[in-house]
Structure 1
């Protein structure tokens, strides 16, 4: 059974309930209880942070959006849309014990070949990386901080 650990994110109160063999967390986006895994712990903290501190509306967040990559079905951890319905942020989360590596960046880059989203977020809850993709120049720039919703959404 996963025992929650402190993350390098602002504290948040998650609705946790104990089962016989596991702990559940209530996911406010999907409106249901989920088994609390280390990766889900990170994802739920990020959802709270994005909504509370960066003002990304929960109504524009999609968890585990499906995609097909090389004829394989995959799921991205979190997609965020702007108010016009365009995808603006793709996030990949790992458990706190998983080191962010080149493999992690390759995974999100491969997903982004399908999505073509300008802002990427990779985090294990301890380390966080953000980058802006320039599709015309076919390059990217790492950012020191994740932009707030209103700064990247022209319709707000």
Structure 2
């Protein structure tokens, strides 16, 4: 597991029509605040503030095609050559990071190949590096130098 120390961030939250919304600073829009979105927003701030990943190279909730299926990845970080580099699958805090979560991000990796895969539920974070057909667990998130 990767240890994450989330930075303090002044999230903007409001209520609209009985639903809580959070302002996504990277996408610059209000998003429904679900348990998964809370994890995603905190993890995004960790990537940008703590790890120094450029916000301009992060894509959030974009559609991808798996055969006939249309799915949405949570977070995709591109390298400086604008090649997909790291994919993150976020789950709500109460969701266990089990084999099914890893298999989900591996399926997405078929459509969008990346060398680094991360799964997180906010409490726990696991990372992997793809080396050919091998998947190697990593103890820290990769440093953004690309």
**Partners of 1:109 and 1:22 in 2: how far apart?**
32
Structure 2 equivalent of residue 4 of structure 1: none
**Partners of 2:45 and 2:29 in 1: how far apart?**
16
User: How many corresponding residue pairs?
Assistant: 143
Structure 1 residues 29-108: aligned runs within 5 Å: 29-108=26-105
SS of the counterpart of 1:97? coil
Cα deviation code 1:4-63 (max 9, x no counterpart): xxx963332211112341211001122111110000000000110000011101100001
Cα deviation code 1:72-113 (max 9, x no counterpart): 001100111011111100010000011111100010000001
Unaligned runs of 5+ in 1: 1-6
Do the aligned residues in 1 keep the contact of 2:6 with 2:45 (CA within 8 Å)? Answer: no
Correspondence 1:144 to 2:136 = no
What is the TM-score when the length of structure 2 is the normalising length?
0.92
Cα deviation code 1:123-147 (max 9, x no counterpart): 0000100110012xx1011111112
**Partners of 2:128 and 2:99 in 1: how far apart?**
14
Do the aligned residues in 2 keep the contact of 1:9 with 1:125 (CA within 8 Å)? Answer: no
Do the aligned residues in 1 keep the contact of 2:7 with 2:49 (CA within 8 Å)? Answer: no
In the TM superposition, structure 1's runs of 4+ consecutive aligned residues that sit over 2 Å from their partners are 7-13
Which has the higher relative contact order, 1 or 2, with Cα contacts under 8 A spaced 6 or more apart?
2
Structure 1 equivalent of residue 109 of structure 2: 112
